[in-house]
Amino acid sequence: MRWRDKRRSSNIEDRRGRRGMRRSRPIGGGFILLIILGLFLLFGKNPLNLIGLGSNGSVPPTTIPSGSGGSARANDENADFVSVILGSTEDAWGDVFRKAGYQYEAPKLVLFNDYVQSACGMTSAATGPFYCPGDHKVYIDLGFFRELNHMGASGDFARAYVIAHEVGHHIQNLQGISMKIQNLQRQVSRTQANRLSTLTELQADCYAGIWIHNYEKQKDILERGDIEEGIRAAASIGDDRMQRQAGQRVNPDAFTHGSSADRTYWFKVGMKYGSLKKCDTFSQAR
């Protein structure tokens, strides 16, 4: 990716180095929880601390104010990269919202180590990057990028896809569907709740595709092989693949994020059309 000469976001809040309470109640998150769960199962660590929370939407967006934030530390390449990608989501989604007649309010992105306090509770880095609907912030421990390599999702675009997916949850939250889905999940069976979670995550994948569709037209950031990196990232974290790697039989009723094929499909839909309407996974479920 040609990212080094691109605009940096000012919506970065750097909390690295702060000490938090040594406890965790992971809340929020998107497809990254699935990766961490797979790693825990593969390497014998305890996955019981992991809890998933999704958000979703397919209705017109509303505006939510964002506050000011700090910038990434100097000479910190990963943080610098995150700042550029966050800035690219601001530019892309700002254009999408503007064309639809709305004003886009960007999320903050919080960098942290080990544990972090959010409106969703005290959360461990083991949860992976996550979005908290309660404070409209994306949270990421940059050490997670090393875990992506273990899953075969290496490269700049794979990392950018992670951030764009979490920002996708922010878009869903702005659209007002997040709370509706969470409320509905409390009223249905576990299998049905899992299905709602899956459709939520697939839409965030599609929204990640919308991001690059629109930003690439503005800034020409992609290089040869980048799209393939994103597709490999989507395919490497499907529920079916993770279940097989954990030595389990494939059980679609237990899916919470989608199969490798579905994740790849919806990411490609977003990239191809760049349209919110095309990303309505709830009415267009395969």
Annotate 192-250 with DSSP letters as a single string. Answer: HHHHHHHHHHHHHHHHHHHHHHHHHHHH----TTHHHHHHHHHHHT-HHHHHHHTT---
* Assigned domain for 285 exists: no
* Assigned domain for 31 exists: yes
Q: What is the total count of domains within the chain?
A: 1
Q: What band does 200 get if pLDDT is binned at 50, 70 and 90?
A: very high
**Mean residue pLDDT across the chain:** 79
Read off the pLDDT of residues 245-281 as tens digits, 9 standing for 90 and up: 778 888 787 777 878 889 899 999 999 999 999 999 9
The pLDDT value given to residue 54: 38
For the cut 70, the answer to whether the pLDDT of residue 122 exceeds it is: yes
For the cut 50, the answer to whether the pLDDT of residue 16 exceeds it is: yes
* Assigned domain for 236 exists: yes
* Assigned domain for 283 exists: no
* Assigned domain for 280 exists: no
Read off the pLDDT of residues 201-212 as tens digits, 9 standing for 90 and up: 999 999 999 999
The tokens for 247 are: 């030595």
* Assigned domain for 221 exists: yes
* Assigned domain for 3 exists: no
Q: Provide the residue range defining the domain that includes 63.
A: 12-275
**Cβ distance 131 to 92 under 8 Å?**
no
Least confident range of 18-27, 131-140, 163-172: 18-27
* Assigned domain for 21 exists: yes
State how far the Cα of 47 lies from the Cα of 38, in Å rounded to an integer: 9
The pLDDT value given to residue 165: 94
pTM of the model: 0.78
Of 31, 38, 272, residue with least CA distance to 130 = 31
Q: What band does 286 get if pLDDT is binned at 50, 70 and 90?
A: low
